[in-house]
Amino acid sequence: MNIWIPITIAAAFAQNLRFMLQKHLKATELSTAGATFSRFLYSAPLVALLLVVYLRLSETPMPDPIARFWIMALTGGLGQILATMCVVAIFSYRSFAVGITFKKTEVLQTALLGFVVLGEGISAWGLGAILVGFTGVILLSNAPGDNDRNWIERMFTPAAGLGLLSGILFACSAIGYRGASLSLGLDVPFFARSCFTLAVVTSSQTVAMAIWLYFRESGEITRVLRSWRVSGLVGLTSMAGSLGWFTAFTLQNAAYVKALGQIELLFSFIASTVFFKEKAATREIVAMLLLTGSILLLVLLA
């Protein structure tokens, strides 16, 4: 099995844990922006420390980034922040499920953008696996509450527009991270490239969000610091998840990584049925079977 596969699965699992912790913070202590900021504030120093320790122990010199690295890394970091804001905004609309469906087009958009920006294509089997998974996501995102509206009407809504924009921005983020990592040179060990890229991105995101909160949400930074017990866990799981994603992006086509990362939906489905005893609809079972098939195709053929 290619190493990027278990790394991606572990990253998706860690991301699931982070979302659970952030949901708790959002419900009990912090604003949406504050809960998002906690991820960067507490993970950035951990990533920087990990980078320094790894470079020292492995006797690897600090990577020497070129201009392309900074363009790709900072563009990716900004894209991730803006994409997250779009997703949060989607939930203000009744047709949020349609918006999330459009957000899930990020896998296909990542494949297209990867070809345009990095010149990376995908195989026919890989495209087939992505399309099978996308079909499952559409089934899963089509909430019953929206079935009383014509699909065409549901496409031309603010939620759909935000969902499509978030998908584009998430695709830009993934391609930016992979492009930045590759620009460091293949002679640099892959873990050093992914860790260095992550350190730069999380540091820039921390500074950008700190400035935003200082001017737009007075006192929120203080509340994030006071919630250090839970926020620290958010930072730890964020570092684990992000390091996994960045390493996978360094090793493999970003479209494949994004497609396999949809296994996170399976984790959520299993948790809801096993731990919360929620009954699954037939549509959801079919969707999960399609996602499982897509993931198996990627694992066996990629």
Between CA 115 and CA 178 the distance in angstroms is 12
Averaging pLDDT over each range in 96-105, 174-183, 233-242, 266-275, which range is the top one?
A: 174-183
Give per-residue pLDDT as tens, 284-298. 778 778 877 887 777
Between CA 40 and CA 53 the distance in angstroms is 20
Rounded to 5 degrees, φ, ψ at 64 are -110, 90
pLDDT at 142: 56
- Which residues fall within 8 angstroms of residue 81, CB to CB, at 6 or more apart? 36, 205, 208, 209
Average pLDDT over residues 100-126: 80
Between CA 26 and CA 32 the distance in angstroms is 6
Both tokens assigned to 76: 């990716």
Whether residue 27 is predicted with pLDDT greater than 50 in this model: the reply is yes
Whether residue 194 is predicted with pLDDT greater than 80 in this model: the reply is yes
Q: How many C-beta atoms lie closer than 10 Å to residue 165's C-beta?
A: 20
Whether the predicted model's global pTM rises above the 0.85 cut = no
Average pLDDT over residues 88-99: 59
Amino acid at 47: V
- Which residues fall within 8 angstroms of residue 15, CB to CB, at 6 or more apart? 237, 241, 245, 264
Give per-residue pLDDT as tens, 142-156. 554 555 555 455 555
Q: Using a CB cutoff of 8 Å and minimum separation of 24, what contacts does 276-282 make?
A: 281/144
pLDDT band at 15 (very low <50, low <70, confident <90, very high): confident
Q: Provide the mean pLDDT of the chain.
A: 82
pLDDT at 278: 65
pLDDT at 24: 72
DSSP 214-235: HHHSTTHHHHHHHTHHHHHHHH
Q: How many residues does the chain have?
A: 302
pLDDT band at 164 (very low <50, low <70, confident <90, very high): confident
- Residue 277 CB burial class (10 angstroms; 0-12, 13-18, ≥19): exposed
pLDDT at 16: 74
Whether residue 247 is predicted with pLDDT greater than 90 in this model: the reply is yes
Average pLDDT over residues 193-221: 93
Whether residue 250 is predicted with pLDDT greater than 80 in this model: the reply is yes
Query: Which 8-state DSSP code applies to residue 150?
Result: -
Give per-residue pLDDT as tens, 61-86. 999 999 999 999 999 999 988 887 78
Whether residue 111 is predicted with pLDDT greater than 80 in this model: the reply is yes
Averaging pLDDT over each range in 191-195, 234-238, 277-281, which range is the top one?
A: 191-195
Query: Which 8-state DSSP code applies to residue 145?
Result: G
Between CA 101 and CA 34 the distance in angstroms is 26
